[in-house]
């Protein structure tokens, strides 16, 4: 196990610069980076912009869905990862179907709002249960899987803090949006929702980086498994060689 694989003695000790860079890259990958943020904002922005102008639910919904599909196609053509774009398409599609079904343009936003509320509760509940959701999400990205639960308590604590941050930030967002859903018109709700897409997300990501940058380094369980497999191969090779030497000795006798 390398020095980066081992937890540090002091859970509050900062990681080296290279480990900080790894943390930044992992967060960028996990949450989609700048492009991922743009892809989450554009469909909703287009919907509210068109609806504000002509109040046409069908045109607004179809335009939002089409632009989501275009973003996926662009990803596919450029051979980029499509998970964030696909999630955006599904979110927009649910909103379109729901709004068309009820005939209420505000319902275009309701599935996303309910998802945000559910995600906030998931962050909080999993943290209370001792398995913070942000650790489940980022564990594979850092190649540590769930090793932080039992082998890296300092890192588990950092994941718990980050999950609390995500949960509370998302709850605060819901506390703003749901009253608007009930008491405001579609245009106002849409513009506020667009305005709240990126800032809370950036705050949560930044706090996650702060907590993880001060946490012990992740334990690379993949490297450990590879080392164990290599050691097992070497042991078997040594046993085979030893058996061959013994057979050769008996033959000479």
Checking if the pLDDT of 161 tops 70, the result is: yes
Among the listed residues 66, 56, 57, the one whose alpha carbon sits nearest the alpha carbon of residue 88? 66
User: Could you tell me how far CA 138 lies from the centroid of its own chain?
Assistant: 7
Query: Range with the lowest mean pLDDT among 33-42, 49-58, 82-91, 100-109?
Result: 82-91
Angle at which helices 186-195 and 33-54 pack, to 10 degrees?
160
Most confident of 40-44, 116-120, 195-199: 116-120
Residue-wise pLDDT for 45-58, tens only, equals 889 999 899 888 88
Residue 115 confidence (pLDDT): 93
pLDDT average, residue stretch 159-171: 96
Checking if the pLDDT of 5 tops 60, the result is: no
pLDDT average, residue stretch 108-134: 95
Residue 14 confidence (pLDDT): 41
Mean pLDDT of the chain: 81
Give CA–CA dist 69/103, Å, rounded: 23
Residue 202, token pair as written in the block: 């950036």
Residue-wise pLDDT for 211-241, tens only, equals 998 888 888 887 767 777 776 776 776 666 6
Checking if the pLDDT of 4 tops 50, the result is: no
């Amino acid at each position: 196990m390398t020095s980066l694989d081992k937890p540090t003695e002091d859970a509050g000790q900062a990681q080296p610069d290279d480990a900080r860079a790894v943390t930044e890259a992992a967060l960028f990958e996990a949450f989609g980076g700048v492009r991922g943020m743009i892809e989450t904002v554009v469909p909703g922005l287009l919907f509210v912009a068109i609806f504000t102008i002509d109040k046409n639910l069908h045109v607004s919904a179809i335009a939002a869905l089409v632009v989501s599909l275009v973003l996926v196609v662009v990803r596919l053509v450029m051979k980029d990862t499509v998970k964030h774009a696909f999630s955006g398409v599904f979110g927009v599609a649910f909103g379109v179907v729901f709004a068309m079904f009820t005939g209420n343009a505000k319902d275009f936003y309701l599935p996303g709002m309910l998802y945000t509320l559910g995600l906030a509760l998931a962050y909080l509940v999993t943290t209370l249960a001792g398995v913070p959701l942000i650790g489940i999400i980022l564990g594979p990205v850092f190649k540590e899987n769930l090793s932080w639960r039992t082998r890296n308590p300092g890192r588990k604590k950092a994941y718990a803090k980050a999950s609390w941050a995500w949960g509370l930030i998302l709850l605060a967002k819901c506390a703003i949006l749901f009253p608007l859903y009930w008491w405001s018109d579609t245009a106002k709700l849409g513009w506020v929702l667009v305005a709240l897409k990126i800032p809370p997300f950036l705050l949560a990501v930044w706090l996650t980086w702060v907590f993880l940058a001060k946490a012990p380094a992740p334990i690379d369980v993949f490297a450990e498994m590879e080392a164990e497999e290599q050691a097992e191969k070497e042991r078997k090779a040594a046993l085979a060689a030893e058996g061959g030497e013994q057979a050769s000795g008996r033959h000479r006798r």
